[in-house]
Amino acid sequence: MQRREALKSLAVLTGGAILVPSCNFEKEEILAAYSNLKVTPAQQSLLAQIADTIIPPGKLKGAQDLAIQDFILVMVNDCVAQTGQTQFTIGLQAFNSFSKKKGGKNFSKLESTAKEKVIAEGLSIGAETTDENQKAVREFLSITKRFTIQGFMMSQYIMTEIKPYSLIPGSYNGEVLISSISNMKIDG
């Protein structure tokens, strides 16, 4: 917590980007806030596009509008076991070549339907695959999807403006007819 607070203050001082050089100065710099992941700004932006494909903007805001990529990185960096982190990192690194193979282009260059198709294919990579990169892509996408859903549904936007959360849920009723609950459809 303190570490992140310190980094946040640093971010304010440095105008947002918190970059530290990686060991090899020829490579791109990595984001210091997610030290377990060694994520570059370019990968962060790729992750944002993937999350935004999983939950796109429509009538309501989408994942990128809510910076869900940052939530995903926080959760993977802090709450996912090391094996999962490794799969996530390898999968993220391998994702553009996976995109080229399946969609013919880097992910950011694809049309949105093609983007959806690449992600859907990645998520459905069979458990029997022996290709380590394929495995990692599948793991990376399934972790990303899980945290995109959580980050979106538990965002301030959804929990205050769309489906307001109440700290006081009201007194218990143990016998409610489902048909009596008004169900206003929310268009995405």
Partner 1 sequence: MANFNIDATQQRTFQAIVIGSGLSGSWAAKELCEHGVKTLVIERGREVKHLHDYPTTNMLPFEFEHRGQLTKQIEEENPVVSKCYAFREDAMHFFVKDKEHPYIQEKPFDWIRGYQVGGKSLLWARQVQRWSDFDFEGPARDGFAIDWPIRYNDIAPWYSHVEKFAGVSGNKDGLPNLPDGEFLPGFELNIVEKYFQEQLKKHYGDSRHMILARCAHITGNLEYYKQQGRLQCQSRNLCQRGCPFGGYFSANASTLPWAERTGNLTMRTDAVVHSIIYDEAKGKATGVRMVDANTKQTEEYFADVIFVNAAALNTNLILLNSTSNRFPNGLGNDNGLLGKYVAFHNYRAGISAEYEGFADYTTQGGRPTSGYFPRFRNLHKQETDFLRGYAAGFSAGKYNYADQSGIGLSLKEQLLNPSKYGNWTVGSHMMGETIPKESNLVTLSKNEKDAWGIPLLSVHVEYDDNDEKMVKDYQEQMTEMFEKAGFTNIRVRDDHRAPGLDIHEMGGVRMGKDPKTSLLNKNHQLHACANVYVTDGACMTSTSTQNPSLTYMAFAARAAHHAMKNQRWGKI
Kindly give, in sequence order, each residue whose CB lies less than 8 Å from that of residue 37, ignoring residues fewer than 6 positions away: 73, 76, 77, 85, 88, 89
Q: Is 6 in the site for partner 1 (CB under 8 A)?
A: no
Q: Is 78 in the site for partner 1 (CB under 8 A)?
A: yes
Q: Is 7 in the site for partner 1 (CB under 8 A)?
A: no
Separation between Cα atoms, residue 153 and residue 65, nearest integer Å: 13
Q: Is 34 in the site for partner 1 (CB under 8 A)?
A: no
Separation between Cα atoms, residue 23 and residue 144, nearest integer Å: 27
Separation between Cα atoms, residue 139 and residue 124, nearest integer Å: 10
User: Out of 4, 27, 101, 109, which residue is the one contacting partner 1 (CB under 8 A)?
Assistant: 4
Q: Is 74 in the site for partner 1 (CB under 8 A)?
A: yes
| 94 touches 136 (CB < 8 A) | yes
CB atoms within 10 A of CB 78: 13
Which of 94, 89, 111, 95 shows the shortest CA–CA distance to 30? 89
Work out how close the CB of 128 gets to partner 1 at its nearest, in angstroms, rounded to a whole number: 21
Choose the binding region for partner 1 from 13-21, 27-35, 72-80, 91-99 (rule: CB under 8 A).
72-80
Work out how close the CB of 144 gets to partner 1 at its nearest, in angstroms, rounded to a whole number: 10
Question: Where does this chain bind partner 1 (CB under 8 A)?
Answer: 1, 4, 53-56, 58, 60, 62, 74-75, 78-82, 116, 119-120, 123, 145, 149-150, 152-156, 159-160, 162-163, 165, 167-179, 181, 183, 185-188
